[in-house]
Amino acid sequence: MRVVKDLVAASATPMVLGILAEGDNYGYAIIRRVAELSGGELEWSEGLLYPLLHRLERDGLVSSHWGVAETNRRRKYYHLTERGHDAVAEHRKQWDVVVEALRAVWPEPPTTPVVAGGQ
């Protein structure tokens, strides 16, 4: 299954913020975490992730620092700021609304068959 581009774009910010809420992290690992969380259905490109991280940093939702990885290489880590934590809560509220509404309008998934009205 391929998730459409618009949906990937719309969910990218809350996804990144959510992952950083788990703890500081770096780009490569964030992309892998996204794949893991979505069972491999979401494959992010670097062109999506890094500019997004920079935009979030500019808006003060995340901060960054260069550190040294276990491989002895320099690596840029991102950290969720206080403002970022607030943003996660806000995104969560909005997505809850959307998800609730979709749940309400869609019939039960086919795996649990719908019981016909008992007339």
The encoded tokens of residue 41 equal 């259905």
What minimum distance in Å lies between the beta carbon of 95 and another protein?
A: 23
CA gap 99, 108 in Å, rounded: 14
CA gap 35, 89 in Å, rounded: 23
Dihedral (Cα; 60, 27, 86, 95), 10-degree rounding: 130
> Given the complex with another protein, which of 15 and 30 has the nearer CB atom?
30
> Given the complex with another protein, which of 59 and 96 has the nearer CB atom?
59
Cβ–Cβ < 8 Å for 69, 57: no
> Given the complex with another protein, which of 72 and 119 has the nearer CB atom?
72
Residues engaged in binding another protein (CB under 8 A): 26-29, 45-48, 50-52, 54-55, 57-60, 69, 71-76, 83
What minimum distance in Å lies between the beta carbon of 3 and another protein?
A: 18
> Given the complex with another protein, which of 65 and 92 has the nearer CB atom?
65
The encoded tokens of residue 53 equal 């991280």
CA gap 73, 106 in Å, rounded: 49
What minimum distance in Å lies between the beta carbon of 32 and another protein?
A: 9
What minimum distance in Å lies between the beta carbon of 97 and another protein?
A: 25
